[in-house]
Amino acid sequence: MPTCQNCNCQWSWIVALKLGFKGNKLCSNCSKRQYVSVKSRTRPYFSYMIPVIILLASGSLFDLDQVFYILSGVLLVLLSLIILPFTIKLSNEQEPLS
């Protein structure tokens, strides 16, 4: 779970999930703005693409039902939402993506 870089306060799962979509938030303990680090913004998207590529490749190799693909896609989205807060690292300043 992410921790504030100023006061080392650990943030809850739901706050971290919201932070993953918003990108910055004030710490509830010290009121300093915290930003999601560049690595935390880019790394999860690459790791989430691997199962999607495997799922798409399996569609061309095997003749599977569309229900399987829909359920697999929903499962991947839910799994990524559950894991996202655990992959977030915070920074005191906003870093460019370059």
Instruction: Tell which wins on pLDDT, 14 or 57.
Output: 14
Instruction: Tell which wins on pLDDT, 55 or 10.
Output: 10
Q: Give the total number of structural domains in the chain.
A: 1
In a domain, 57, yes or no: yes
In a domain, 96, yes or no: no
**How many C-beta atoms surround the C-beta of residue 13 within 10 A?**
13
List the alpha helices (DSSP H) in 1-65: 13-22, 38-61
Containing 23, the helix (H) or strand (E) segment is: none
Q: Is the pLDDT of residue 25 over 70?
A: yes
Query: Among the listed ranges 31-35, 58-62, 70-74, which one has the minimum average pLDDT value?
Result: 58-62
- CB crowding 25-39: b at 16 or more within 10 Å, else e: bebeeeeeebbbbee
In a domain, 6, yes or no: no
Average pLDDT on 9-30 reads: 87
Angle, helices 66-87 vs 38-61, to 10°: value is 160
Confidence (pLDDT) at 10 = 92
Host domain of residue 85: 13-91
In a domain, 97, yes or no: no
Does the global pTM surpass 0.75? no
In a domain, 4, yes or no: no
